[in-house]
Amino acid sequence: MSGAAVKRTPQARAIRAFALVSFVVLAYFASRAHGAGKGGEVVLAIGLFLLGGTLLAELLEPLRVPHLTGYLAVGILSGPHVLHLVDHGTVESMTKLNALALALIAFAGGAELKLDLLRKGLRSLLVTSFLQTVLVLVGATVVFVLARPLIPFVAGMDSRALLGVALLWGVLAVTRSPSATLGVLAQTRAKGLLTSYTLAFVMSSDVIVVVLSALVIALARTLTMPGVELTLSGFDALGHELLGSVALGTTLGLVMIVYMRFVGRQLLVVLVALGFGFTEILSYLRLEPLLTFLVAGFLVQNLSSYGEKLLHAIEDMASVVYVIFFATAGAHLDLPLIRQYWVVALLLFSSRFALTWIANAFSTRIAKDGPLIRKWGFSGMVSQAGVTIALAATIERAFPTFGPKLRSLAIATVALCELVGPVLFKAALDSAKESEAFRDPPPSSGRAPKSA
């Protein structure tokens, strides 16, 4: 992704707008041509997402919205529910690229977590993680129960089963979006207190979600499935997943350090191989890819001097991979489903937003954080994306009676989070003057701040 916004003339923006319209028209006719084959359709879709997403992101820069909002918009417009430039089958084929994107996101997230910064903000991180988890989980569960009349698939459930489904919704509400956070940071090149605070919380929250989701799913089974009792057998798999992911992530981090020390070449090829091949191995072993790559990136940053080199390599790939990742996410949104659930989705999104803000107000006061974190600390916690959808898919498999409908409701709510969260976080970074385009120049430079 590009860094700070570059000042462009109205004429340049008009040319880009004309190029975008022309490309969409060409893509429209190309999508209706026969004989391209599945491989050709995927190539056309990648080209459409890359060029269209980049052009639209640049056109939206005067509005100070994140680039990934433009990528999402191109995906939505060109997807199977609007212009139908990309069909369902092609979108499903392109989701395989998510493995590479998630690997890069986790690697970058781990490499951004520097040990000295974590030590300084440890108290704040612990308090925030605890209150954001507890208050959002409990609050979202209560709101779901109260919203029962608006949710058809729980209307006939007894109170016990309803509580089980509501707890599952509560754990979905606790999830955050490392991809959206790092996508905004990659564009803004932000540095500062709010950036470090958000990174530390969002990346560490994935570990909390892995543990919490296993506990809640086990409890929900006893509440929604007659005859099922709570046992400790399910926690063996949780221990295997956590310890195995950390162990393999540690090994991968040490191997990466050795490779960068003695070879150091073709790092992009290595990252692509890890993103595709190594992720398949992790899935086979039933380990958590995000946690594994997060640990690996953390070790490279804090046990060697190659952390910045790793980050630069990821940045070189992110400009392409992130565009495809978010555009595919936009194309994957089921707009008819959102229309069906929009009332309850808006209610659940708004309540989660409010709970996140309230939890931030309490946690920052208890941790005695400064005014910047008290005002904007919640801004990076609103977004949801891949982690939420992946957890919803896990719930769907575990609870086949109501799981598919709960997943559909989750996707509708995630769509709102994807549209609002990144915009809010970028606005907070700009307001805090942590974005590169808004940071004050060094006193000796004598230059004025860059314009957005």
User: pLDDT by residue (tens digit) across 244-299?
Assistant: 888 999 999 999 999 998 888 888 888 888 887 888 888 788 787 878 888 899 89
Mean per-residue pLDDT over the chain, rounded: 82
From 201, 210, 125, 208, select the one nearest 379 (Cα to Cα). Answer: 201
pLDDT at 97: 73
**In this predicted model, what pLDDT tens digit does every residue of 161-186 receive, in sequence order?**
999 999 999 999 999 888 888 888 87
Phi, psi (5° rounding) for residue 17? -65, -45
How big is the CA angle at 200 (ends 196 and 204), to the nearest 5 degrees?
Answer: 170
Greatest Cα pair distance in the chain: 73
Side-chain half-sphere exposure of 292, counting CA atoms within 13 A: 25
Whole-Å CA distances, 125 to 360, 368, 413 = 11, 12, 26
pLDDT at 228: 66
Phi, psi (5° rounding) for residue 85? -75, -25
Phi, psi (5° rounding) for residue 32? -100, 0
Phi, psi (5° rounding) for residue 378? -80, -15
pLDDT at 450: 45
Question: What's the rounded Cα separation, in Å, for the pair 7 and 451?
Answer: 7
422-450 mean pLDDT = 75
Q: What one-character DSSP code corresponds to residue 285?
A: T
306-316 mean pLDDT = 84
Helix (H) or strand (E) holding 179: helix 178-188
Taking 70 as the threshold, does the pLDDT of residue 107 lie above it?
Answer: yes
Whether 267 and 306 have beta carbons less than 8 Å apart is answered as no
Q: Can you say whether residue 406 is alpha, beta or left, with left for phi > 0 and alpha for psi between -120 and 50 degrees?
A: alpha
pLDDT at 8: 60
pLDDT at 9: 66
